[in-house]
Chain A
Amino acid sequence: MSKVFAVALGVLTAIGGFVDIGDLVTNAQVGSRFGLSLAWATVVGVVGICVFAEMSGRVAAVSGRATFDLVRERLGPRVGMLNLLSSMLITLLTYTAEIGGVALALQLVASVHELLVVPVVAVLVWLVLWRAKFSIIENVFGVLGLALVVFAVAVWKLGPDYGALLHQAVGAHKPDDEHWRTFAYYAVALFGAAMTPYEVFFFSSGGVEEHWSPEDLGTMRANVLIGFPLGGALSLAIAASTWLVLGPLEISVDTLGQVGLPVAAALGKVGLAVAILGFVAATFGAACETGLSVAYSIAQYFGAQWGKYVRPKEAAFFHLVLALSTLLALAVLMTTVDPIVITEISVVFSAVALPLTYFPILVVANDPDYMGEYANGRLANALGVVFLGVIAVAATAAIPLLIWTRMGQ
């Protein structure tokens, strides 16, 4: 019974935890302009994250070592340091975007100026990271994030022509008024949003936090292979509902409020309230995950004690990094920069950084010394290599497309 419960809870958490500010904003932006014609990019991204999250989770369960621990071992201190710097720059950017996202979501309710909400949110996030148990952080926000299912309900309530939607998705039929280069730019952005590197930092470190062993591989795989695709379905529901409501009106999405508009239009006040609850939970949960990922990775590079499974004073370096990165994120947000812009930048640069993270994971998952009989099989390796190619293309194209399209204008 407890096994079933553990699997169910893990799946629910993975669904809610999959969607963060990057997925919310990017899917709504894409939905309003391209409908479901970019659904393939989300699907590819979801398959990719499943492949590599499964590998990193398996490595953590079998060897007890988390991602950045191994990145340094396999790349050496020099390249490892470069990798650490760039990965952490992007994860910090994502952390900033998530904290800003919580503030924007709360602002929708409180109508207090964002700059007054941001410090409160930053302190709350830091308190949760310092005091709360790992299982609370992982499960409570993940499960509350399921409130975003309201977007799927909204699609159903809007009663669209499902045949037309499916046709658009399967054929990748770009609307005629959009250019191919913006189409490609948003494909890369969706890919980056779905495969954000912090997800594997968090997932593998979480495995060590929860003392996974090879016996837990079944549960882990269920979480990844059921939870993430359902999270991807939630992303598609956001895109679809935005297309149905905002598409005909030619409204483009620049605020978090606009992301919630389709739900308000389809389900009214109560629906909107549920959506906002989902926004707060999803972004707050993701803020915790990204903040932890920064501290996990830096501590893992230096070998310092990390983790929520020991008391804070046992892992002082780890908690210092948590506090400092929260402070840094707060400082950036207090410059009045728009969190939505930070989000857009963070998903594109995530795409750039993808190979740095995923290549070492693929290598270690094949190491017979560490993995023994749990090393990658043919399927995992075939998928891993194919996705490494896809990742390389996305990473190379990201910045040129960013400049060429002037951030998707």
Chain B
Amino acid sequence: MTREMPNKLEGTIDGALELLDRQLLDVEGRMLGKVDDVELTQTDAGLTITALLTGQVALLHRLGGSLGSNLVTGYVQLRPSEKNRTRPWRLVIGDVERLDSALHLRVHREESLRRDVETFRLGALTGMNVLEPAGRRAGSVLDARFAPGAGGRLVLRALVVGEGHPGGLLGYDRRPNMGPWFVRRIVGWLHRNTSAVDVEHVQILWNNREVRLVSPLREIRREALRR
């Protein structure tokens, strides 16, 4: 143990000296960044520290002057499609436990920073295991089929379920009579058990990273894979 220091959050502190650029440590003592900047919000009591900011954008802004703003511009230009890139990562002040020679959090570093809302992802859906109601593995999700719903937006309709053999994304199992014949036969044989399962027969368990069938795969009227 290093020298015991009082918790500075319980007294008066000078922000630039005692808070900025201090090491962030999570609840297990793992390092997750520096206090690159501090968020202030106007409340009834006055300007209040509501969050700590960390990450490249907050740091680059603090380099100051034209260097700082040029670097921020450059950083954004590296990926123009990413809208939130100028927004730094945020760490709510409620997650901070104490401040001494470092800033100690009460949370794990994996769950400390927020930028955008958590959403489900297609990349997480494909590859999930598909389980029979009894729990036996029926295969895995190879693809997801979407169709325009009300308002014209694409809505999930079915999951393509099969053994994860190679060639699933070559297209032979979805398109009729794609050549050459020899390849079609091999891929077709590898994917002979692949089928599309309507979304009403499945239950997606995102946290467990698995898909449960409502009724056994044999009893489900399977849609034709070919469209």
Contact = CB atoms under 8 A, between A and B. Distances in A.
Could you say which of A69, A214, A314 has the most chain B C-beta atoms within 10 Å of its C-beta? A69
Contact of A303 (B18, B31, B67): B31
Interface in B79-111: 101-102
Nearest to A307: B31
Nearest to B65: A78
A81 B101 contact: no
A405 interface: no
Interface residues of A, number: 29
Contacts of B101: 63-65, 370
A73 B101 CA distance: 11
Interface in B21-36: 21-24, 30-34, 36
Contacts of B34: 72, 301-303
B216 to A, nearest CB: 40
A303 B2 contact: no
Interface stretch (B56-64, B128-136, B161-169): B56-64
A64 B59 contact: no
Contacts, number: 65
Contact of A61 (B2, B5, B30, B62): B2
Given A78-B64, A370-B101, A214 B22 contact: no
Contacts of A304: 31-33
B31 A305 contact: yes
A104 to B, nearest CB: 37
A20 B20 CA distance: 37
A278 B163 CA distance: 59
B227 interface: no
A305 B102 CA distance: 13
Contacts of B2: 61-64, 213-214
Given A78-B64, A214-B2, A72 B33 contact: no
Nearest to A61: B2
B3 interface: yes
Interface residues of B, number: 24
Interface in A341-378: 369-372, 374
Interface string A295-313: 0000101111110001000
B3 A63 contact: yes
B2 to A, nearest CB: 4
B54 A81 contact: no
Contacts of B122: none
B1 interface: yes
A314 B32 CA distance: 10
A69 B63 contact: no
A374 B101 CA distance: 14
A303 B54 contact: yes
A72 B63 contact: no
A372 B23 CA distance: 19
A218 interface: no
A163 interface: no
Contact of A65 (B23, B24, B30, B63): B23
Contact of A77 (B1, B3, B21, B31): B21
Contacts of A213: 1-3
B109 to A, nearest CB: 8
A305 B30 contact: yes
A73 B102 contact: no
Contacts of B36: 77
Contacts of B30: 305, 310, 314
Could you say which of A306, A314, A369 has the most chain B C-beta atoms within 10 Å of its C-beta? A369
A214 B23 contact: no
Given A73-B22, A374-B3, A64 B31 contact: no
Given A76-B21, A77-B59, A62 B31 contact: no
Contacts of B32: 303-305
A328 B38 CA distance: 36
Given A73-B21, A303-B24, 7 more contacts: A65-B23, A76-B62, A78-B63, A214-B3, A302-B59, A304-B32, A374-B3
Interface of B: 1-3, 5, 18, 20-24, 30-34, 36, 54, 59, 62-64, 67, 101-102
- Nearest 10 A-B pairs (CB), nearest first? A303-B34, A64-B2, A303-B33, A63-B101, A305-B31, A73-B21, A62-B3, A77-B62, A72-B21, A78-B63
